[in-house]
Amino acid sequence: MPRLGELAQERKMGPFSTAVFLVIPLIALGSFACGPFLGVFSGRLFASGFNPVHVGGALDQPSLTKWFFLFMYFTAWFLPYVAVARWMSNRNTRLGYWAFAVPSFALWLLLLSLLTIPSYWLIQYVLAMGFTSTRVLGLFCSLFAYVFMFAFLCWAVRKPGSGTPKAGESAVQI
């Protein structure tokens, strides 16, 4: 598969364009995920006990299946969008870097809140009902999703030029 090359510097988006490009999906996701975000980060989610209604698989009620599905759906849309914004934006200046990093981090937080809700409900479910292979698989999938989200954030907001050394440069700094 061909690799997407570096975009020419004169074709990259400036700080304002980058911010607008990333604020549009931030508004779209924020209009949906504002409630879950506030529930997670205010601690209201963690104050509730285990509720068996969360175990169902229907998409018309607040269930584990519904929230994992919503997390996967929004992740499949917005992480590639952030990757394209990373490729298209000029992050070499301080303003350009922060115009990319702040909205990307906000999108990441909203997606993380969508993951935290079903993960917490799954932990409550396992503690209340016991371990089975399916529940353990769900816990591993949640853990993998958290690791993936943190790895993506580290990759996305890494400063330009802080990756692998160029040809003829040593990777070891003395």
* pLDDT, tens digit, 9 for 90 and up, residues 111-137: 999 999 999 989 999 998 889 998 899
pLDDT for position 108? 94
DSSP single-letter state for residue 131: -
pLDDT at 56: 72
Which residues sit opposite 78 in a β-bridge?
Answer: none
Contacts 24+ apart (CB under 8 A), 158-163: 159/91, 159/97, 160/91, 160/92, 160/97, 161/92
Mean pLDDT taken over the chain: 85
Kindly report the pTM of this predicted structure: 0.82
- pLDDT tens-digit profile of 2-41? 566 777 777 788 889 999 999 998 998 888 888 888 888 8
Q: How confident is the model at residue 174 (pLDDT cuts 50, 70, 90)?
A: very low
90-129 burial code (b ≥16 CB/10 A, e <16): bbeeeebbebbbebbebbbbbbbbbbbbbbbbbebbbeee
